[in-house]
């Protein structure tokens, strides 16, 4: 297995330590202030804890000498420990009071908002499973561990620091303080080396996991198609392969992680052993008190625990970094400019002015020199062979992306100078793939106009020829779409989409010829529904069957992204060009 296939160059690059920690802090978003305060409390608590260990020395001495100072020394230790515990409990409120959950929620909302502003043509190039993985898992990892991780780091630094500071003031403690200061920082290069290895491993695992999720989403969503095309087993093999890779990567990661882990924890133990050895020599030679060594041994046991825990948990930092980079990559996607038009257009003629458009994932333009004006309240049909750019032409009017050259206007207003919701208030869409949400049938229609009352929704359903089949559902309009799953026929879904459009009653209507794939009964019903919808609208229709657009006010024939011909049906037939050939061919079928 080639691990490199799972290295995503967009998200994998090494991060210096300080930047990683800054990232960690910033992941708290608006909760950053609360996080900083609590980290401050955790740091003071750890310092006090370190100091209280060092204060064991005067306590031991007073015990040995039988001095009454023992109570005073013990009292100081107990008070310090109590304050440390209280501060630590207060610090933990970052998680227990739900601030980390607020940070997660904020990040998720920000990403949701961001995805709304990213051109759909860009998002459609990403696999939905991978976006899900970021929205659900990466965000949890990116914001949920901020306090835990920083708290571990704070403890690993502040407990030895507190002890060292206190030792400096104790009789004979200075040399131990110096020794700790000399030896413990030597672990830093080992930590950095281990970090690099872990980072690569985690990056590969994260990428493989996110591909596995994407495969799982595609596999479950595409079950019907896969079965009908007998591709089920080949897709399943593909899924199994990625799942197997994930398992192997985890195995390799565990093995590879074990050695650096062992080396670094052994080094911590070794450094502490050196302190112990030298301390023993100092005691034997009489230059240090044996009770100082006993205190240092207690300190060593505690510091060794804290450092080992830090080493074990520091891999969480790599997981965090991978997740936050995935998040950052989505957050860095370019956005469509959003402007709020002061006045909305009052006429609905639509002009494409010398429009050129290239999909972000492609090199050559899909649309070139598209230049036309469609008078309002007319019906315009677009025809052309598959892939010539008809759908893209309509998607640009919906601002799934902006042309790299030229502009599109409605009633003279550049659509880039309107907000997305202003633009959408002008346009209804009936495309072939109708998406029904996990909600009641009533609400699925109402979503086109959320403030519509039930009566208006049912009226629209009646006009769209939906009322009869909805009335036969177990709970009529209240039936949940999830309860009946995909039981709606293609024609019924089309009519539900038409009901939405009738309810919305927008002045512009985009149709991807809805009757193209229907049987005669459904075609008739959808045609009747359409008749109720199209009155007095500016209509742009992608025509798959030319017989339905004979009466169109104008027909544009697209060829390889250019407008090749234009005119009415009789004019185009007279031209004896592409349209005439289409017509002859299709009429013969
Ligand atoms: N999201 C996308 N990303 C990249 N390329 C795309 C995308 N959508 C469409 N294309 C490409 O753009 C070209 C035009 O596609 P479009 O869907 O506009 O054609 P069409 O004329 O509507 O085809 P059809 O009649 O088959 O629906 C095709 O080559 C298609 O592969």
Which is more confident, 393 or 216? 393
Among 123, 126, 389, 556, which is best to mutate for testing ligand 1, by the most ligand atoms less than 8 A from CB? 389
Residue 405 has pLDDT above 80, yes or no: yes
Query: Which range, of 316-330, 411-425, 534-548, averages the lowest pLDDT?
Result: 316-330
For 491-508, b/e burial (b = at least 16 CB within 10 A) is: bbbbbbbbbbbbbbbbbb
Residue 495 has pLDDT above 60, yes or no: yes
Q: Which CATH number fits domain 17-331: 1.20.1560.10, 3.40.1260.10, 3.40.50.2020, 3.30.365.10?
A: 1.20.1560.10
pLDDT-derived band at 174, boundaries 50, 70, 90:
confident
Task: Say which residues have a Cβ less than 8 Å from residue 220's Cβ, sequence separation at least 6.
Answer: none
Distance of CA 386 from the midpoint of ligand 1 (Å): 8
Residue 15 has pLDDT above 60, yes or no: no
Distance of CA 120 from the midpoint of ligand 1 (Å): 13
Alpha-carbon torsion (343, 347, 350, 355), positive or negative? negative
Distance of CA 389 from the midpoint of ligand 1 (Å): 6
Among 370, 391, 393, 400, which is best to mutate for testing ligand 1, by the most ligand atoms less than 8 A from CB? 391
CATH class in words for 434-505+518-537: alpha beta
Among 127, 355, 366, which is best to mutate for testing ligand 1, by the most ligand atoms less than 8 A from CB? 366
Reduced to 3 DSSP states, what percent helix, strand and coil does the chain have, rounded to the nearest 5?
65, 10, 25
What pLDDT is recorded for position 141? 74
What pLDDT is recorded for position 552? 85
Nearest to 465 by CA among 438, 492, 432: 492
**296 and 273 in contact (C-beta within 8 Å)?**
no
Are domains 17-331 and 434-505+518-537 of this chain identical in fold? no
Alpha-carbon torsion (254, 258, 264, 268), positive or negative? positive
For 101-137, b/e burial (b = at least 16 CB within 10 A) is: ebbbebbbeebeeebeebbebbeeebbebbbbbbbeb
The tokens of 276 are what? 């112990």
Distance of CA 391 from the midpoint of ligand 1 (Å): 7
Residue 249 has pLDDT above 80, yes or no: no
Q: Hunting for tokens 């006090």 — which residue is that?
A: 48
Average pLDDT of 164-187?
84
pLDDT digit string (tens) for 351-379? 999 999 999 878 899 999 999 999 999 98
What pLDDT is recorded for position 511? 86
pLDDT-derived band at 536, boundaries 50, 70, 90:
confident
Distance of CA 432 from the midpoint of ligand 1 (Å): 15
Query: Which range, of 67-71, 326-330, 466-470, 511-515, averages the lowest pLDDT?
Result: 511-515
What pLDDT is recorded for position 129? 66
Distance of CA 392 from the midpoint of ligand 1 (Å): 6
Nearest Cα residue to atom 1 of ligand 1: 121
* Helix 520-533 with 490-504: angle, nearest 10 deg: 0
Nearest Cα residue to atom 3 of ligand 1: 359
Q: Which CATH number fits domain 339-425+553-589: 3.40.50.300, 1.10.3720.10, 3.40.50.1820, 3.20.20.140?
A: 3.40.50.300
Return the domain boundaries, the chain.
17-331, 339-425+553-589, 434-505+518-537
Residue 52 has pLDDT above 90, yes or no: yes
pLDDT-derived band at 387, boundaries 50, 70, 90:
confident
Q: Is 175 exposed, middle or buried (0-12, 13-18, 19+ CB in 10 A)?
A: middle
Q: Hunting for tokens 């990559």 — which residue is that?
A: 329
Distance CA 124, CA 126 (A): 5
∠ CA 340-344-346, nearest 5°, is 170
Average pLDDT of 166-170?
86
Distance CA 73, CA 57 (A): 9
pLDDT digit string (tens) for 262-301? 777 788 778 878 888 888 898 899 888 888 888 988 888 8
Among 387, 393, 398, 542, which is best to mutate for testing ligand 1, by the most ligand atoms less than 8 A from CB? 387
What pLDDT is recorded for position 572? 92
Q: How far is CA 264 from CA 151, 196, 580, in A?
A: 20, 13, 78
Which is more confident, 373 or 220? 373
Which is more confident, 160 or 131? 160
Distance of CA 166 from the midpoint of ligand 1 (Å): 71
- Closest-lying ligand 1 atom to the alpha carbon of residue 544: 25
Nearest Cα residue to atom 10 of ligand 1: 359
**163 and 53 in contact (C-beta within 8 Å)?**
yes
Average pLDDT of 54-78?
88
Mean pLDDT, rounded, of the chain: 82
- Closest-lying ligand 1 atom to the alpha carbon of residue 392: 18
For 433-467, b/e burial (b = at least 16 CB within 10 A) is: ebebeeebbbbbbbbbbeebeeebbbbbbbbbbbb
Nearest Cα residue to atom 23 of ligand 1: 387
pLDDT-derived band at 12, boundaries 50, 70, 90:
very low
Residue 513 has pLDDT above 80, yes or no: no
Average pLDDT of 96-125?
83
Distance of CA 542 from the midpoint of ligand 1 (Å): 13
**Helix (H/G/I), strand (E/B), else coil: 133:** helix
Binding-site residues, ligand 1, Cβ < 6 A: 121, 124-125, 359, 361-362, 366, 384, 386-392
In what helix (H) or strand (E) does residue 498 lie, and over which residues does it extend? helix 490-504
Nearest Cα residue to atom 29 of ligand 1: 387
Residue 67 has pLDDT above 70, yes or no: yes
Distance of CA 7 from the midpoint of ligand 1 (Å): 29
Distance of CA 360 from the midpoint of ligand 1 (Å): 12
Would you list the DSSP string of 47-116? HHHHHHHHTHHHHHHHHHHT-THHHHHHHHHHHHHHHHHHHHHHHHHHHHTTHHHHHHHHHHHHHHHHHH
Residue 567 has pLDDT above 90, yes or no: yes
Distance CA 412, CA 347 (A): 8
- Closest-lying ligand 1 atom to the alpha carbon of residue 393: 18
Distance of CA 362 from the midpoint of ligand 1 (Å): 11
Among 127, 381, 392, which is best to mutate for testing ligand 1, by the most ligand atoms less than 8 A from CB? 392
Query: Which range, of 81-95, 303-317, 349-363, 545-559, averages the lowest pLDDT?
Result: 303-317
Distance CA 291, CA 294 (A): 5
Nearest to 409 by CA among 380, 371, 457, 378: 371
Nearest Cα residue to atom 16 of ligand 1: 389
Distance of CA 359 from the midpoint of ligand 1 (Å): 9
CA dihedral 250, 251, 253, 257 (to 10 degrees): 130
Distance of CA 382 from the midpoint of ligand 1 (Å): 14
Nearest Cα residue to atom 18 of ligand 1: 389
Distance of CA 152 from the midpoint of ligand 1 (Å): 52
Residues linked to residue 370 through DSSP beta bridges, in sequence order: 355
């Amino acid at each position: 297995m080639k691990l490199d296939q799972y290295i995503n160059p967009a998200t994998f690059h090494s991060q210096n330590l300080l930047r990683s920690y800054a990232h960690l802090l910033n992941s708290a978003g608006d909760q950053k202030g609360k996080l900083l305060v609590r980290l401050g409390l955790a740091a003071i608590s750890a310092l006090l804890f370190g100091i209280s260990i060092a204060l064991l020395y005067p306590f031991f001495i007073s015990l040995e000498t039988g001095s009454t100072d023992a109570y005073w020394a013990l009292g100081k230790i107990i008070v310090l420990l109590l304050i440390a515990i209280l501060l630590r409990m207060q610090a933990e409120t970052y998680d227990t009071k739900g601030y980390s959950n607020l940070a997660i929620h904020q990040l998720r909302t920000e990403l949701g908002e961001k995805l709304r502003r990213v051109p759909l043509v860009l998002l459609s190039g990403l696999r939905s499973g991978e976006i899900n993985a970021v929205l659900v898992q990466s965000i949890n990892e990116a914001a949920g561990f901020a306090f835990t991780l920083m708290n571990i780091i704070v403890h690993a630094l502040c407990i030895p620091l507190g002890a060292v500071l206190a030792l400096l003031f104790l009789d004979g403690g200075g040399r131990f303080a110096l020794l700790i200061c000399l030896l413990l920082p030597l672990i830093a290069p080992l930590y950095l080396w281990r970090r690099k290895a872990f980072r690569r491993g985690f990056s590969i695992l994260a990428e493989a996991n996110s591909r596995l999720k994407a495969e799982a989403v595609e596999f479950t969503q595409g079950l019907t198609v896969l079965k009908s095309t007998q591709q089920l087993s080949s897709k399943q093999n593909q899924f199994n392969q990625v799942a197997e890779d994930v398992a192997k990567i985890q195995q390799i990661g565990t093995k590879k992680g074990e050695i650096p882990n062992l080396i670094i924890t052994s080094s911590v133990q070794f450094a502490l052993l050196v302190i112990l050895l030298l301390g023993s020599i100092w005691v034997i030679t009489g230059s240090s008190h044996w009770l100082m060594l006993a205190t240092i041994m207690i300190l060593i046991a505690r510091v060794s625990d804290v450092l080992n825990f830090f080493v074990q948990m520091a891999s969480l930092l790599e997981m965090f970094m991978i997740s936050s980079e995935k998040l950052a990559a989505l957050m860095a996607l370019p956005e469509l400019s959003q402007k709020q038009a002061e006045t909305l257009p009052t006429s609905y003629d639509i002009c494409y002015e010398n429009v050129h458009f290239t999909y972000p994932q492609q090199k050559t333009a899909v649309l070139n020199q598209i230049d036309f004006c469609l008078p309002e309240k007319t019906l315009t049909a677009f025809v052309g062979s598959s892939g010539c750019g008809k759908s893209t032409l309509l998607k640009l009017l919906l601002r799934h992306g902006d042309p790299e050259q030229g502009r599109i206007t409605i009633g003279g207003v550049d659509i880039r100078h309107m907000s997305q919701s202003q633009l959408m208030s002008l346009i209804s869409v009936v495309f072939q793939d109708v998406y029904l949400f996990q909600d009641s049938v009533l609400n699925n229609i109402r979503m086109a106009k959320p403030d519509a009352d039930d009566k208006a929704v049912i009226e629209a359903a009646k006009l769209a020829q939906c009322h009869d089949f909805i009335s036969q559902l177990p709970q009529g309009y209240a039936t949940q779409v999830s309860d009946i799953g995909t039981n709606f026929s293609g024609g019924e879904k089309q009519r539900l989409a038409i009901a939405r459009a009738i309810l919305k009653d927008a002045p512009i209507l985009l149709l991807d010829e809805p009757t193209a794939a229907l049987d005669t009964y459904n075609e008739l019903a959808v045609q009747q529904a359409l008749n109720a919808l199209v009155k007095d609208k500016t209509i742009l229709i992608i025509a798959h069957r030319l017989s339905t657009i004979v009466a169109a006010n104008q027909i544009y024939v697209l060829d390889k992204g250019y407008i090749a011909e234009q005119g009415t049906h009789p004019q185009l037939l007279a031209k004896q060009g592409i349209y005439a050939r289409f017509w002859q061919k299709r009429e013969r079928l």
